[in-house]
Amino acid sequence: MSVSLDRELRAELAASEREGTLKQLHMIDSPQGPEVEMPGHGRVLVMSSNDYLGLAAHPEVIEAGVEGLRRYGAGTASVRFICGLFAPHLLLEADLADFLGSEAALTFSSAWAANEAVIPSLCDGESWILSDELNHASIVDAIRLARPAAKIVYPHADVDALAAALAKAPRGARKLVVTDGVFSMEGDIAPLPAIVAACREHGAVLIVDDSHGTGVLGASGRGTAEHFDLQGEVDVTVSTLGKALGGAAGGFVAASRAVCETLEQRARPQLFSNALAPTVACASRAALAVLRAEPERVARIATGVAALRNAVSEHGLAPLGGESGIVPVLVGETARAIAASHAMLERGVFATGFGYPVVPEGAARIRLQVSAAHTPEQLERAARTAAEAVGAAVVES
Ligand SMILES: Cc1ncc(COP(=O)(O)O)c(C=O)c1O
């Protein structure tokens, strides 16, 4: 054991604590939902969960997971190509492909792993990768793992810059354009119509990470492409099973059969990491079935977002604009976001403060997230509490 390593790390952690930037993890002692039991804080209103559709503790989702555990045990105990896979994996993949209108789908143990599968596997030494500067960390890291001929990070949502960069790519080179559908820290939606047009003009492949769009955007929750009436125009959709679709864990790729089969053959997270737990495959199928049967849940998110945005503004805060389930309220310094988050929790509302390095220095924020399960009263309380807490954090800082 290295004593000096521990000493150095302790000093760094202590410095973060002194600066007020140390993250604190909170224990939850009940299933995820609009309210949870939090030891030391009692019953707390949750505004920081990705359980957008309110399905994490849905009886049919739980029952399907339990049934999957009973029928298949804990898991494959190896990667798919070594030890096989269970029927629920294939059934879930068929359901996801059918839902998103793709030829095929392939599941992974996380959307993080799915991005790390897609981007390096589709990139060759001649390829150009073009990526929005605010793309999720898993995309940033996946691009680091790929070895493209050129890596262009274009300014956030700047399609003119994207098109100008695409125009410079050599003719025969494969061009991969990667964007979040909904940007997780800003809550804004990628300008997909213009991105699709640029990709088509320049013969580029469009990869959209719709982890915060799936189940949230579009009349039936099919995500960012449905929101813009562009279904069928995204070449590769990456998304998560760890947010709207049950909230357990897991990710998937929805794309052509050729893409999915290539990933099955080549992608390192597929070849060297275990398959999704069958419990999760079964629970996620049930979550998707509830979404399809009850699309009104998606409409409830939109109504809740509008109500929360109104209430936040009425209480004197200025949320960043957007239509997704994410409503960020900028507060400035990291320490202030963390202090405001603590002050909210003291008042019985759980909303995480995000600071550097997750967001740029000086742009720290409280991120509020709306679920179909929130009541109007809960959203009003969240807005009022956020305003009080941000005010209190000013006085304290
Ligand atoms: C845009 C985006 N992509 C990927 C991920 C990773 O998802 P997972 O938890 O399934 O790895 C997240 C999670 O925060 C995300 O917001």
Does residue 187 register a pLDDT over 50? Answer: yes
Task: Find the mean pLDDT for residues 91-113.
Answer: 98
Does residue 79 register a pLDDT over 90? Answer: yes
How large a percentage of the chain has pLDDT more than 70? 99
Does residue 320 register a pLDDT over 80? Answer: yes
Task: Find the mean pLDDT for residues 128-136.
Answer: 97
Of 167, 176, 164, the closest CA to residue 126 belongs to 176
Q: How far apart are CA 178 and CA 166, in angstroms?
A: 12
Q: How far apart are CA 256 and CA 168, in angstroms?
A: 27
Q: What local confidence, expressed as pLDDT, does residue 61 receive?
A: 98
CA of 6 to the centre of ligand 1 (A): 30
Q: What local confidence, expressed as pLDDT, does residue 335 receive?
A: 87
Pairing of strands 42-46, 35-38: antiparallel
Q: Under a CB-based contact definition with an 8 Å cutoff, are residues 41 and 29 in contact?
A: no
Q: Under a CB-based contact definition with an 8 Å cutoff, are residues 126 and 174 in contact?
A: yes
Q: What local confidence, expressed as pLDDT, does residue 395 receive?
A: 46
Element (H or E) spanning 32, and its range?
A: none
Confidence of residue 23 (pLDDT cuts 50, 70, 90): confident
Question: What residues have CB less than 8 Å from 296, skipping those under 6 apart?
Answer: none
Range with the poorest average pLDDT among 38-47, 270-279, 357-366? 357-366
Give residue 380's region: left, alpha or beta (phi > 0; psi -120 to 50): alpha
Q: What local confidence, expressed as pLDDT, does residue 21 receive?
A: 77
Q: How far apart are CA 328 and CA 360, in angstroms?
A: 14
Q: What local confidence, expressed as pLDDT, does residue 394 receive?
A: 63
274-314 pLDDT, tens digit each: 999 999 999 999 999 999 999 999 999 999 999 999 999 99
- Ligand 1 atom closest to residue 210's alpha carbon, by position in its atom list: 1
Active site residue 184: yes
- Ligand 1 atom closest to residue 251's alpha carbon, by position in its atom list: 10
CA of 101 to the centre of ligand 1 (A): 21
CA of 211 to the centre of ligand 1 (A): 6
Pocket of ligand 1 (CB under 6 A): 110-112, 136, 138, 180, 184, 209, 211-212, 240, 242, 251
Task: Find the mean pLDDT for residues 228-250.
Answer: 97
Q: What local confidence, expressed as pLDDT, does residue 43 receive?
A: 97
DSSP string, 60-83: HHHHHHHHHHHHH-S--SS-HHHH
Does residue 397 register a pLDDT over 50? Answer: no
Q: How far apart are CA 4 and CA 193, in angstroms?
A: 54
Does residue 374 register a pLDDT over 90? Answer: yes
Active site residue 127: no
58-77 pLDDT, tens digit each: 999 999 999 999 999 999 99
Most ligand 1 atoms within 8 A of CB, residue of 108, 112, 326 to mutate: 112
Q: How far apart are CA 302 and CA 79, in angstroms?
A: 39
CA of 209 to the centre of ligand 1 (A): 8
State the average pLDDT for the chain: 95
CA angle 394, 395, 397 (to 5 degrees): 65
Backbone angles phi, psi at 76, to 5 degrees: -80, -15
